[in-house]
Amino acid sequence: MFWDHVSGVYDFFVGCRLKELNRQIGKAAASFLEPDDKVLECACGTGLISLFLARKCRDLTATDFSEGMLKQARKKCRFVNMTIEQADITKLNYEDHSFDKVVAGNVIHLLEQPQAALQELERVCRIDGKIIIPTYVGKSRKSGKNVLLSFLNLFGAGFQQQIYYRDYPAFFRRLGYKNARFYLIKGLMWCAIAVIPVTKENKDNKDNKEFSA
With a pLDDT cut of 90, the percent of the chain lying above it is: 59
Residue 148: pLDDT band with limits 50, 70, 90: low
CA diameter of the chain: 50
* Rounded distance between C-alpha atoms, residue 117 and residue 67, angstroms: 19
The more confident residue out of 58 and 206 is: 58
* Model confidence at 90: pLDDT above 60: yes
Question: Which residues constitute the domain of residue 42?
Answer: 2-212
* Model confidence at 160: pLDDT above 50: no
User: DSSP class of residue 161?
Assistant: -
Residue 210: pLDDT band with limits 50, 70, 90: very low
CATH number for the domain harbouring residue 148: 3.40.50.150
Among the listed residues 31, 46, 87, 80, the one whose alpha carbon sits nearest the alpha carbon of residue 60: 80
- Give pLDDT, residue 213: 32
* Rounded distance between C-alpha atoms, residue 42 and residue 187, angstroms: 24
Strand 99-104: give its sheet, edge to edge: 82-86, 59-64, 38-42, 99-104, 125-137, 190-197, 181-186
User: DSSP class of residue 147?
Assistant: H
The more confident residue out of 30 and 159 is: 30
- Give pLDDT, residue 113: 86
Q: What is the mean pLDDT of the chain?
A: 85
- Give pLDDT, residue 75: 92
**3-state class of 114 per DSSP?**
helix
Domain total of the chain: 1
* Rounded distance between C-alpha atoms, residue 23 and residue 68, angstroms: 22
Least confident of 137-141, 157-161, 194-198: 157-161
* Model confidence at 12: pLDDT above 90: no
* Model confidence at 13: pLDDT above 90: no
